[in-house]
Amino acid sequence: MKESTSREQILTKIRNALIDVSDIPYPDIDMNAEVFVKPDISDGIEVVFAQELIAVGGRFVYIENEKALLEFLHDLIQRNDWPAIWSPTERMANLLKAGNIASIYEPSDNFLVGLTTCEKLIAQSGSVVVSSADSGGRQSFTFPDVHLVLAYSSQVVLSLKEAINDLKIKYAGNLPSQITVITGPSRTADIEKTLVMGAHGPRELYVFMIDDL
Protein backbone atom coordinates (compact mmCIF):
# COMPACT_ATOMS: atom_id res chain seq x y z
CA MET A 1 0.00 0.00 0.00
CA LYS A 2 1.35 3.38 -0.98
CA GLU A 3 2.25 5.53 1.98
CA SER A 4 0.49 8.87 2.14
CA THR A 5 2.55 12.01 1.88
CA SER A 6 2.91 14.52 4.70
CA ARG A 7 0.63 16.89 2.78
CA GLU A 8 -2.10 14.24 2.52
CA GLN A 9 -1.80 13.44 6.21
CA ILE A 10 -2.23 17.11 7.13
CA LEU A 11 -5.23 17.52 4.83
CA THR A 12 -6.82 14.39 6.30
CA LYS A 13 -6.46 15.78 9.80
CA ILE A 14 -8.02 19.07 8.70
CA ARG A 15 -10.97 17.28 7.08
CA ASN A 16 -11.53 15.17 10.18
CA ALA A 17 -11.37 18.25 12.38
CA LEU A 18 -13.99 19.98 10.26
CA ILE A 19 -16.29 16.96 10.47
CA ASP A 20 -15.96 16.55 14.24
CA VAL A 21 -16.84 20.07 15.32
CA SER A 22 -16.26 20.65 19.03
CA ASP A 23 -18.29 22.87 21.27
CA ILE A 24 -16.78 26.20 22.23
CA PRO A 25 -15.12 25.52 25.61
CA TYR A 26 -15.85 28.98 27.04
CA PRO A 27 -19.07 30.23 25.39
CA ASP A 28 -19.63 33.05 27.86
CA ILE A 29 -16.24 34.71 27.50
CA ASP A 30 -16.35 38.44 26.77
CA MET A 31 -13.98 39.04 23.86
CA ASN A 32 -14.32 42.81 24.29
CA ALA A 33 -13.37 42.87 27.95
CA GLU A 34 -10.30 44.81 29.05
CA VAL A 35 -7.14 42.72 29.33
CA PHE A 36 -5.17 45.22 31.41
CA VAL A 37 -6.16 46.24 34.92
CA LYS A 38 -6.99 49.93 34.75
CA PRO A 39 -4.33 51.91 36.61
CA ASP A 40 -4.99 54.60 39.16
CA ILE A 41 -4.95 57.87 37.22
CA SER A 42 -5.86 60.13 40.12
CA ASP A 43 -2.43 61.80 39.85
CA GLY A 44 -2.84 62.22 36.13
CA ILE A 45 -2.59 59.90 33.17
CA GLU A 46 0.75 61.49 32.24
CA VAL A 47 2.20 60.32 35.57
CA VAL A 48 1.10 56.76 34.85
CA PHE A 49 2.76 56.91 31.44
CA ALA A 50 6.00 58.22 32.93
CA GLN A 51 6.08 55.47 35.56
CA GLU A 52 5.44 52.72 33.03
CA LEU A 53 7.99 54.11 30.57
CA ILE A 54 10.69 54.14 33.24
CA ALA A 55 9.68 50.60 34.29
CA VAL A 56 10.45 49.28 30.79
CA GLY A 57 13.81 51.03 30.59
CA GLY A 58 12.87 54.30 28.90
CA ARG A 59 13.73 57.78 30.11
CA PHE A 60 11.09 60.42 30.76
CA VAL A 61 11.81 64.14 30.77
CA TYR A 62 9.12 66.74 31.48
CA ILE A 63 9.83 70.06 29.78
CA GLU A 64 7.92 73.34 29.77
CA ASN A 65 8.32 74.16 26.08
CA GLU A 66 10.45 73.65 22.98
CA LYS A 67 13.01 76.19 24.19
CA ALA A 68 13.56 74.09 27.31
CA LEU A 69 13.92 71.02 25.08
CA LEU A 70 16.73 72.66 23.11
CA GLU A 71 18.52 73.61 26.33
CA PHE A 72 18.23 70.03 27.59
CA LEU A 73 19.49 68.66 24.27
CA HIS A 74 22.55 70.92 24.43
CA ASP A 75 23.33 69.41 27.84
CA LEU A 76 22.78 65.84 26.62
CA ILE A 77 24.98 66.39 23.59
CA GLN A 78 27.79 67.75 25.74
CA ARG A 79 27.55 64.99 28.37
CA ASN A 80 27.31 62.13 25.87
CA ASP A 81 29.59 63.59 23.20
CA TRP A 82 26.99 63.17 20.47
CA PRO A 83 28.32 64.55 17.17
CA ALA A 84 24.92 65.57 15.76
CA ILE A 85 21.22 64.74 15.82
CA TRP A 86 19.39 63.32 12.84
CA SER A 87 15.77 64.15 12.08
CA PRO A 88 14.06 63.22 8.81
CA THR A 89 11.17 65.67 9.28
CA GLU A 90 11.34 69.31 8.28
CA ARG A 91 9.70 70.46 11.49
CA MET A 92 12.23 68.78 13.77
CA ALA A 93 15.13 69.80 11.52
CA ASN A 94 14.00 73.45 11.76
CA LEU A 95 13.67 73.13 15.52
CA LEU A 96 17.25 71.90 15.84
CA LYS A 97 18.45 74.66 13.55
CA ALA A 98 16.68 77.27 15.68
CA GLY A 99 18.53 75.95 18.72
CA ASN A 100 21.92 75.95 16.95
CA ILE A 101 22.16 72.19 17.39
CA ALA A 102 24.26 70.30 14.87
CA SER A 103 22.01 68.14 12.75
CA ILE A 104 22.18 65.83 9.75
CA TYR A 105 19.54 65.15 7.11
CA GLU A 106 20.60 61.64 6.11
CA PRO A 107 21.25 58.67 8.42
CA SER A 108 24.83 57.48 8.68
CA ASP A 109 26.50 54.19 9.54
CA ASN A 110 28.11 55.79 12.57
CA PHE A 111 26.53 56.19 16.02
CA LEU A 112 23.19 57.83 15.33
CA VAL A 113 20.91 59.92 17.53
CA GLY A 114 17.46 60.53 16.06
CA LEU A 115 14.74 63.01 16.97
CA THR A 116 11.10 62.43 15.99
CA THR A 117 7.60 63.27 17.03
CA CYS A 118 5.01 60.58 17.77
CA GLU A 119 1.35 59.78 17.27
CA LYS A 120 0.29 58.70 20.75
CA LEU A 121 1.59 57.70 24.17
CA ILE A 122 -0.02 54.69 25.89
CA ALA A 123 -0.20 55.01 29.67
CA GLN A 124 -0.98 51.36 30.46
CA SER A 125 2.27 50.08 28.98
CA GLY A 126 4.50 53.15 28.76
CA SER A 127 4.55 52.72 24.99
CA VAL A 128 5.15 55.23 22.20
CA VAL A 129 3.09 54.95 19.02
CA VAL A 130 4.87 56.18 15.89
CA SER A 131 3.88 55.96 12.25
CA SER A 132 5.52 56.23 8.86
CA ALA A 133 3.37 59.30 8.16
CA ASP A 134 4.12 61.36 11.25
CA SER A 135 7.76 60.55 11.99
CA GLY A 136 9.28 60.92 8.56
CA GLY A 137 9.34 57.29 7.43
CA ARG A 138 10.01 53.90 8.91
CA GLN A 139 13.76 54.39 9.14
CA SER A 140 13.36 57.22 11.66
CA PHE A 141 12.52 54.85 14.51
CA THR A 142 14.64 51.84 13.50
CA PHE A 143 18.02 53.31 12.46
CA PRO A 144 18.98 55.46 15.49
CA ASP A 145 21.03 54.05 18.36
CA VAL A 146 19.32 56.63 20.58
CA HIS A 147 15.72 57.64 19.86
CA LEU A 148 14.56 61.01 21.16
CA VAL A 149 10.79 61.57 21.05
CA LEU A 150 9.07 64.94 21.37
CA ALA A 151 5.53 64.47 22.67
CA TYR A 152 2.71 66.43 24.28
CA SER A 153 0.52 65.61 27.25
CA SER A 154 -2.56 65.79 25.02
CA GLN A 155 -1.24 62.74 23.16
CA VAL A 156 -1.45 60.44 26.18
CA VAL A 157 -4.25 57.86 26.11
CA LEU A 158 -4.94 54.98 28.44
CA SER A 159 -4.87 52.03 26.03
CA LEU A 160 -3.77 50.87 22.60
CA LYS A 161 -7.43 50.57 21.61
CA GLU A 162 -7.94 54.28 22.30
CA ALA A 163 -4.79 55.13 20.33
CA ILE A 164 -5.94 53.19 17.26
CA ASN A 165 -9.42 54.73 17.43
CA ASP A 166 -7.87 58.22 17.53
CA LEU A 167 -5.64 57.41 14.56
CA LYS A 168 -8.62 56.19 12.55
CA ILE A 169 -10.26 59.55 13.14
CA LYS A 170 -7.09 61.53 12.42
CA TYR A 171 -6.44 59.78 9.11
CA ALA A 172 -10.11 59.37 8.21
CA GLY A 173 -9.76 55.62 7.90
CA ASN A 174 -6.73 55.83 5.57
CA LEU A 175 -4.13 54.69 8.09
CA PRO A 176 -0.38 55.05 7.47
CA SER A 177 1.42 52.11 5.86
CA GLN A 178 3.13 51.33 9.17
CA ILE A 179 2.12 51.98 12.76
CA THR A 180 4.67 50.85 15.33
CA VAL A 181 4.29 50.53 19.09
CA ILE A 182 7.61 51.05 20.88
CA THR A 183 7.84 49.80 24.45
CA GLY A 184 11.21 50.74 25.90
CA PRO A 185 14.62 50.31 24.26
CA SER A 186 15.07 47.51 21.73
CA ARG A 187 16.22 44.28 23.36
CA THR A 188 16.36 40.55 22.70
CA ALA A 189 17.53 37.41 24.46
CA ASP A 190 16.92 35.01 21.57
CA ILE A 191 20.57 33.95 21.31
CA GLU A 192 21.66 31.76 24.23
CA LYS A 193 19.36 33.76 26.54
CA THR A 194 21.87 36.62 26.57
CA LEU A 195 20.25 40.05 26.77
CA VAL A 196 21.35 42.24 23.88
CA MET A 197 20.32 45.90 23.74
CA GLY A 198 19.71 47.67 20.45
CA ALA A 199 19.33 44.48 18.42
CA HIS A 200 16.33 45.60 16.37
CA GLY A 201 16.31 49.33 17.01
CA PRO A 202 17.45 52.01 19.50
CA ARG A 203 19.26 50.96 22.63
CA GLU A 204 18.09 54.11 24.43
CA LEU A 205 14.70 55.80 24.36
CA TYR A 206 13.97 59.31 25.65
CA VAL A 207 10.49 60.84 25.76
CA PHE A 208 10.33 64.61 26.22
CA MET A 209 6.83 65.71 27.17
CA ILE A 210 5.46 69.25 26.89
CA ASP A 211 2.29 69.99 28.86
CA ASP A 212 -0.16 71.50 26.36
CA LEU A 213 -3.38 70.91 28.33
37-73 pLDDT per residue, tens: 778 888 899 999 999 999 999 999 999 999 999 999 9
Q: Is residue 111 part of a domain?
A: yes
pLDDT at 195 over 80: no
Distance from C-alpha of 52 to C-alpha of 179, rounded to nearest angstrom:
21
pLDDT at residue 118 above 90?
yes
Q: What pLDDT sits at residue 1?
A: 45
The CATH number linked to 151 is 3.40.50.10420
Cα(188)–Cα(153) distance, integer angstroms: 30
58 in Cβ contact with 126 (< 8 Å): yes
Q: Within a domain: residue 198? A: yes
pLDDT recorded at residue 8: 85
Cα distances (Å, whole numbers) of residue 10 to 2, 4, 5, 22, 192: 16, 10, 9, 19, 33
Q: Is 22 contained in some domain?
A: no
Q: Are 87 and 115 in contact (CB under 8 A)?
A: yes
* Residue 1 located in a structural domain: no
Helix (H, G, I), strand (E, B) or coil at 80: helix
**Mean pLDDT taken over the chain:** 85
Residue-wise pLDDT for 10-24, tens only, equals 888 888 888 877 777
Q: Which structural domain range is residue 200 located in?
A: 32-210
Distances (CA, A) of 164 to 31, 33, 181: 18, 17, 11
CA atoms within 13 A on the CB side of 122: 24
Would 175 be classed as within a structural domain?
A: yes
Per the structure, the count of domains in the chain is 1
Share of the chain above pLDDT 90, in %: 48
Sequence-distant (≥ 6) Cβ neighbours of residue 17 within 8 angstroms: none
The answer to the question of residue 11 being in a domain is: no
Helix (H) or strand (E) holding 200: none
Q: Is 212:63 a contact under the CB 8 Å cutoff? A: no
Q: What is the per-residue DSSP string for 118-169?
A: -SEEETTTTEEEEETTTTTSGGGGTS-SEEEEEEEGGGEESSHHHHHHHHHH
pLDDT (tens digit, 9 = 90+) per residue, 165-181? 999 999 997 999 889 99
- DSSP H helical ranges for 3-142: 6-19, 45-55, 66-80, 90-98
The answer to whether residue 78 scores a pLDDT higher than 50 is yes
